[in-house]
C-alpha cells in the first residue's frame, strides 16, 4: 500500500495571533494574568540584577514555570509558548530590572 502524498493536501498556515504584553520595571510580585492562558515569552530589556521567577499561580508560589538567573543579558529572549493553568505571576526582586512578558 503506497503512503499518502501529504504535499498534495498541504495548506500552509500563518499564526497571526498577537500576544498581549506587560513591561515590568518594579521590584514586586506582578500578577500578569489572573486566569489560565499561554506564556508566549519573556524579553530581558536590561541585564537582570536579581533572579526572575515565573509562576503558574495568582501569587508567587509553586508551581514554578521558570527561573531566569541573575546576570541574564539585556536583549535575551526566552520563548515558552507554554500553557499556565491558574494564573501568571512574575517575581522581580530588583527595581532596576526591566522585562517584558508576552502572554495570551
pTM of the model: 0.82
Domain 20-103 indexed as CATH 3.40.50.620:
no
Report d(CA 48, CA 25) in Å as an integer.
11
pLDDT over 70 (residue 20): yes
Higher model confidence: residue 18 or residue 39?
39
Which of 3, 4, 33 is closest to 19 using CA atoms?
Answer: 33
Q: What is the mean pLDDT of residues 74-85?
A: 96
Burial class (CB in 10 A: 0-12, 13-18, 19+), 48: buried
Burial class (CB in 10 A: 0-12, 13-18, 19+), 1: exposed
DSSP symbol at 27 = S
What is the spatial order of strands in the sheet that 52-55 belongs to? 28-33, 88-92, 52-55, 64-68
What per-residue confidence (pLDDT) applies to 92? 94
Confidence of residue 14 (pLDDT cuts 50, 70, 90): very low
Amino acid at each position: 500500500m503506497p503512503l499518502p502524498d501529504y504535499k498534495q493536501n498541504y495548506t500552509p498556515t500563518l499564526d497571526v495571533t498577537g500576544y498581549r504584553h506587560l513591561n515590568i520595571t518594579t521590584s514586586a510580585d506582578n500578577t500578569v494574568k489572573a486566569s489560565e492562558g499561554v506564556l508566549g515569552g519573556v524579553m530581558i530589556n536590561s541585564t537582570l540584577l536579581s533572579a526572575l521567577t515565573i509562576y503558574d499561580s495568582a501569587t508567587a508560589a509553586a508551581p514554578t514555570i521558570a527561573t531566569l538567573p541573575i546576570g541574564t543579558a539585556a536583549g535575551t529572549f526566552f520563548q515558552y509558548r507554554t500553557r499556565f493553568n491558574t494564573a501568571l505571576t512574575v517575581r522581580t526582586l530588583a527595581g532596576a530590572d526591566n522585562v517584558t512578558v508576552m502572554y495570551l
